[in-house]
Structure 1
Amino acid sequence: MTGQARAEASAQAMWESDRASQYLGMQIVEVGEGQATLQMTVRPEFCNGHGICHGGLTFTLADSAFAFACNSRNQATVAQHNQVSYLAPGREGDVLTATAREVSLSGRSGLYDVTVTNQDAVVIAEFRGASRAIRGQLFEE
């Protein structure tokens, strides 16, 4: 199985059980070995008391892209810790895109950067996630 085929099969296996990402209306745009791109439209109920996209939902989109990137090799992998910097507000109706890319993978530990942009290529947030491989696979090869 090629790396791309494994990444696609891993994403499909994860997506089937990822009720949170589905519920929030996320879509997988692209996956590859060590990378993933997801999108989500900011719905009215995603906005906080300031009328902008709640930071937790921006974080959730970035975290989901991170998860699909770090699980792309069919090795069950979870977040060890994450950090996010919010650079601009997301607004109702915006289509947010989270693009995750692997920075480092060594043994069971990985490091991933995720950039969240809107439909005008404005950077909304920068996210860094550290991953840890655990026992198991997403699908049987």
Structure 2
Amino acid sequence: MDDAFATEHTRRMIAGDAASNALGMRVVSAEPGRAVVRMRVRPDMLNGFAVAHGGMVFALADTAFALACNETDAVTLAAGADIAFLSPAREGDELEAVAERRARGGRSGLYDVRVSAGDGRVVAEMRGRSRTTRGVLPAK
């Protein structure tokens, strides 16, 4: 991640995220309450109908959500999320997930994530609920 707004916490978090890295996700920006992450749809991400598997689209949205909601050094995790798939993504599509904070109070937060294709189509909308734990990311 090469983002001037990213915190050391989010830099360490994404560096240790084997799943996001294996899927080829690239962090465009990460700042408290907002993040942008991109991923190209590969052949091994397709379902039996030759469209992006919903789990792959969800994983992209979830990664952007995670970066946006980890606003402090405390570990913040998903407490729940709902996703609506609005149009199919196909092999070669460059997907972009933009996560934005809607509300935050105490240890709870609410975030919306829009996943779009390079041609402007909205592929999915996700709403995530976060919960900040009492733990911190272990030092490396």
TM-score norm. by structure 1 comes to 0.91
Cα separation, 2, equivalents of 1:73 and 1:98: 21
1:78 paired with 2:71, answer no
Corresponding residue for 2:125? 126
Corresponding residue for 2:35? 36
Unaligned runs of 5+ in 1: none
CA deviation after TM superposition for structure 1 residue 137, in Å: 2.6
> Structure 2: which amino acid aligns with 1:52?
V
CA contact (8 A) 2:5 2:30 kept: no
Q: Helix, strand or coil for the counterpart of 1:132?
A: strand
CA contact (8 A) 1:74 1:139 kept: no
1:20 paired with 2:24, answer no
Larger strand proportion of the pair: 2
1:67 paired with 2:84, answer no
Corresponding residue for 1:47? 46
Root-mean-square deviation (CA, aligned residues, Å) is 1.6
CA 124–50 in structure 1, closer or farther in 2 if over 3 Å, else same: same
Larger helix proportion of the pair: 1
> Structure 2: which amino acid aligns with 1:124?
V
Query: Number of aligned pairs?
Result: 137
Cα separation, 1, equivalents of 2:20 and 2:58: 12
The percentage of counterpart residues that share the same residue type is 45
CA contact (8 A) 1:6 1:72 kept: no
1:98 paired with 2:97, answer yes
CA contact (8 A) 2:6 2:29 kept: no
CA deviation after TM superposition for structure 1 residue 75, in Å: 2.1
CA 36–139 in structure 1, closer or farther in 2 if over 3 Å, else same: farther
CA contact (8 A) 1:116 1:123 kept: yes
Cα separation, 2, equivalents of 1:8 and 1:29: 14
> Structure 2: which amino acid aligns with 1:71?
N
Unaligned runs of 5+ in 2: none
TM-score norm. by structure 2 comes to 0.92
CA deviation after TM superposition for structure 1 residue 5, in Å: 6.5
